[in-house]
Structure 1
């Protein structure tokens, strides 16, 4: 389990059996409805852990091992030294009787395990890039089934790429956990052919960002030292971006940021730094591991644009960010057996549609789900949501908790951004089948499984699906596997049956500032509060009386 200290983020819980099979996995934000589960009192994975136990039909007394994706002994010397207290802190449960064995897994090792064991590869180099682990910011590993993972190289927090990107996000006025906005804005610089200053030196095979730490890291840092180092380094990056842009921040409101040359310059400068670094590090990882197969993990692995520039077989798990260390810590203790297939991402809470008489559905019109009817609604220009089966894990909606629309005009892009109360310049993803996707965008063998790589689109995509084409001519595609999301699969087949392009705009089912919906209650509440036309939940179709025709 990943139980970050007070003030940290992305707590999660994962339950695996003795063979390494994942029984359940969920992020705490899905249960307490606080984005990233950040803040004192919100970041223990109590709700997520309780869900995992309930899903398995067991109690906390049945747990044999608690694995934590941080070396808490180093970061909190003298704090939580008692094993029983640590177990309670990590899970939110009391342990009056038998105490499970507790394993502290170093942060980057947990990240690396989450990426490799989720992949279809039998061996791979694994590249972990984030803000920081206990002492490092970037690490390279070699993994293969049948032997212990091997750390090949690591870079200290003084070379943190995550800090560099956080500095740009904060300069732009975003929270550091809103790096996706920075990435979306950076595309405007690429589209305009902007020339930016190189902020990375890799001469001699080392990794040296333009702003190193204000103080060198010596020994093993405590959490207080890491916090001071982070604040000082991010401030130094903000100062550098201010110097490059000739301003201390944007001069326009957030919805007009693409019109601000300084804002676009800062976003694209930071993005190019990440892309240049990831390209160098990926090549280095392949060389050190001696194989072409490459896995990525860490918060920087959520950067779809950077992932998309990498050649060769590249895999990113559905939870590369800090929530993923719950999965990686568990797999470090009990690795899964090799399957040759990428992991199933639908491991969260199952949605159970309430009956028509349920008070939550009062005022809504309910009919049985009919794929032909939903297809007609979408072709009529309506925008709907789907909440079906077990929730997908991670920050990308993979058609179990999604908002859907036909992307045949640019206007639908604007409407969905209004529905989600997002900035109008934010991009969307397209979802289709593999055969049709090959006509719309460059092929991505693995990144399109979980919508984690930007791909250049074709002329056909610009013509039939402009609503999912970003300003730089890319999209973040999802290729839907057969049987993965039955409702959406049926609608895509319905589109094709009507002679329409079988592609949909797919974005997460949540309003601004909210986590992705989890339960039926969440789905109904979001449907009521957002300007959506219909909701497919379990085997029912809900419509608002005012919208029914």
Structure 2
């Protein structure tokens, strides 16, 4: 049995994705469409290339698919838009399924989010909290999941009481897209560091919460896409008006590159961040109480808020793809849950860097402008210890928005200046932070312990005195970092360098950020890696088991 999970139009209109599982619930392949079509967030595009990748990885054809699971109840939001499932699949996915149309299972959006978190976790039972912009009729939900039992929805909050909407409003007030909420989170840290008093825009009341911007009256009956869009625009506008009233301005007074120096911009970001932190902390407590266990899983777009995740007590698990791309996996697992699990999900489920570009019969990629050598860990370590900044593209790509050392830019973070250089290389604002990666034993010395969040770089942790001393390049203005702990040979090149650094007496920690230029998705294939390497001021590229440098740099002795 083959089940293809998708986040796809018309309901899933951003971060489209495809995931293939077999009859045992085992993941064969998972990819976000943006990695394939090279269009950030893949707005309004079906996950056709991602689905084709999944089929290639399994060695099957579209006609072999038994079920297509969609992470939305599309029939509710778009009633009577399609005559039958065959027409729907042609629009949503685009594969040619032949004469046999697979069964289509429409999984409610928040249930798909919840399944993607619980079944990826190591927990046999957990409370599951889903918080995002909105699902079909809700913005926050609480669930109880247990192996071998049907999931139980415990609580739900309506769309217009959305924490995601409150954060979207702050992001757009700041001049960002709602898809750039990570920038808002990074800017909010300046408010925390400066001890700003953020006005309280949420009241916690027993087993509920109330936002300062009152929810709209819900439209009777099941919402349609038009209703959801209208409510979103109205609620976000009200939140923006509230932020404007707090700071006495309708937008920042400085350009994006200088927002950290704009006190109004920092206060808006910090105010929105406090709304999320206070509310999610309260909801997390309610989820644990409802499930009767301490184990907690969190998913939905708001679960990408690393600063909030880092404030929650454990045991806590956030999957590597908590945002909308992850419902492709959750929808598939709702149809066929996985068997017994021995640990958390491996995130390395995407395209092999040597896959599509190294097919027999295709001409090799042109590297005549580069100097190639076999990868040598000692040589790579020396480059890094001498201040070089480079990129790594090895093996199957990690899924989700965080690069986890298989599609990463790396550097030694022994000074604050490295932050400036890497932000310049990536064409990012200089006020934005970076994350660090190390091995488990040393990580315990650098920052507060995170049992699961540091596996996928999804939680902020306060740096220790040692962390601030040896790795200032990955410590943000508020004294936190967003760490990754690398186990075993999950990312061979980076792991080997960390081990060699430790053997040489150097602090085994590296700056780790995604391998992509501004406005680009994370690189996927070898062709993507070479293109990004050439366009950015990087010193070296590790591609598989090879090391590449630029001729003009080696000739200049750099």
TM-score (structure 1 length as normaliser): 0.98
Q: Is the deviation greater in 358-367 or in 440-449?
A: 358-367
Q: Distance in 2 between matches of 1:360 and 1:416?
A: 27
Per-residue Cα deviation, 1:370-402 (whole angstroms, up to 9, x for no partner): 111110000110000000000000000000000
User: What is the aligned residue count?
Assistant: 545
- Which of 82-91 and 393-402 deviates more? 82-91
- Matched with 1:347 is 349
Q: Does the CA-based 8 Å contact 2:457-2:482 persist in structure 1?
A: yes
Q: Any idea what SS the aligned residue of 1:26 has?
A: strand
CA distance 1:110–1:404, shift in 2 (3 Å): same
Q: Tell me, in whole angstroms, the C-alpha distance in 1 between the residues paired with 2:220 and 2:433.
A: 42
Kindly indicate whether residue 101 of structure 2 is the aligned counterpart of residue 115 of structure 1: no
Aligned positions of 1:180-195 closer than 5 A: 180-195=182-197
Aligned to 1:53: 55
- For 2:551 and 2:443, how far apart are their aligned partners in 1? 36
Spell out the pairing of 1:519-534 with structure 2 (5 A cutoff). Answer: 519-534=525-540
- Selected match of 2:480 from 456, 461, 474: 474
The aligned counterpart of 1:440 is 446
- Once the 2 structures are TM-superposed, how far is the Cα of residue 468 of structure 1 from its aligned partner? 0.1
Tell me the distance in 2 between the aligned counterparts of 1:308 and 1:96: 48
Aligned to 1:27: 32
Give, in angstroms, the shift of residue 494 of structure 1: 1.4
Q: Indicate the residue corresponding to 1:15 in structure 2.
A: 20
Give the Cα separation in 2 of the matches to 1:394 and 1:23.
16
| Structure 1 stretches of 4+ moved >3 Å | none
What is the Cα deviation at residue 338 of structure 1? 1.7
Q: Structure 2: how far apart are the matches of 1:210 and 1:360?
A: 58
8 A contact 2:127–2:288 mirrored in 1: yes
Identify the residue that residue 508 of structure 2 maps to in structure 1. Answer: 502
Partners in 2 of 1:522 and 1:391 — Cα distance? 12
d(CA) in 2 for partners of 1:81, 1:336: 33
The residue number in structure 2 matching 1:540 is 546
**Contact 2:17–2:33 (Cα < 8 Å) also in 1:** yes
Secondary structure of the equivalent of 1:247? coil
Distance, in Å, in 1 between the alignment partners of 2:209 and 2:410 is 41
Q: What is the CA distance between 1:359 and its match in structure 2? A: 4.3
Query: 1:518 — aligned with what?
Result: 524
Deviation at 1:218, TM superposition (A): 2.8
Query: Which of 167, 175, 179 does residue 181 from structure 2 map onto?
Result: 179
Q: Structure 1 residue 63: deviation in Å?
A: 0.5
Using the alignment, how far apart are the partners of 1:537 and 1:348 within structure 2?
Answer: 16
What does residue 3 of structure 2 align with? none
- Once residues 396 and 4 of structure 1 are traced to their aligned partners in structure 2, the CA distance between those partners, rounded to angstroms, is 24
Q: Is the 8 A contact 1:73 1:81 kept in 2?
A: no
Q: CA offsets, 1:210-234, max 9 Å, x none?
A: 1133443432100111011111111
Cα deviation, residue 201, structure 1: 1.4
2:99 to 89, 93, 97: 97
> 2:277 is paired with a residue of what secondary structure?
helix
Could you list the runs of 5+ residues in structure 1 that have no partner in the other structure? none
Q: Output one character per residue of 1:141-167: Cα deviation in whole Å (capped at 9) or x when no partner.
A: 000101010000000012100000000
Correspondences of 1:400-439 after superposition (within 5 Å): 400-439=406-445
Counterpart-to-counterpart distance in 2, 1:69 and 1:258: 37
- Offset at residue 64 of structure 1 (A): 0.6
Please say if residues 129 and 142 of structure 2, whose CA atoms lie closer than 8 Å, have aligned partners that are also in contact.
Answer: yes
Structure 2 residue 377 is matched with structure 1 residue 377 = no
Secondary structure, counterpart of 2:349 in structure 1: strand
Q: How does 1:307-322 map to 2 (within 5 A)?
A: 307-322=309-324
Aligned to 1:294: 296
1:304 Cα offset (Å): 0.2
What CA distance in whole angstroms lies between the structure 2 residues aligned with 1:491 and 1:7? 40
Residue number among 24, 40, 43 corresponding to 1:38 in the alignment? 43
- Cα pair 1:67 1:329 within 8 Å, conserved: yes
How far apart are 1:205 and its partner, in Å?
Answer: 2.1
Q: Contact 2:9/2:91 (CA < 8 Å) preserved in 1?
A: no
Q: Hey, what's the Cα distance between the residues in 2 that align with 1:71 and 1:89?
A: 15
Specify the alignment match of 1:220 in structure 2.
222
8 Å Cα contact 1:68-1:90 kept in structure 2: no
Q: Show the counterpart of 1:196.
A: 198
What's the offset of the Cα at 1:327?
A: 0.2
Query: Residue 466 of structure 2 corresponds to which residue in structure 1?
Result: 460
Deviations along 1:277-318, whole A, 9 cap, x unmatched?
010000000000100000000000000000000012010000
The Cα RMSD (Å) is 1.2
Q: 2: distance between equivalents of 1:85 and 1:213? A: 37
Q: Aligned equivalents of 2:83 and 2:432: distance in 1? A: 45
Q: 1:3·1:44 contact (CA, 8 Å) conserved in 2? A: yes
| C-alpha separation in 2, matches of 1:278 and 1:154 | 14
- Cα deviation, 1:331-358, whole Å, max 9, x if unaligned, reads 0001001213001100000011979x94
Aligned to 2:152: 150
1:163 match: 165
SS of structure 2 residue aligned to 1:153: strand
Deviations 1:171-203 (A, max 9, x none): 000000000000000000000011111010122
* Pairing 1:61-140 to 2, within 5 Å after superposition: 61-140=63-142
Q: Which residue in 2 is equivalent to 1:387?
A: 393
- The residue aligned with 1:207 is 209
2:7 aligns to what? 2
C-alpha contact 1:429 1:475 (8 A) present in aligned 2: yes
Q: Tell me the TM-score normalised to structure 2 length.
A: 0.96
Assess if the C-alpha contact under 8 Å between 1:159 and 1:207 holds in 2. Answer: no
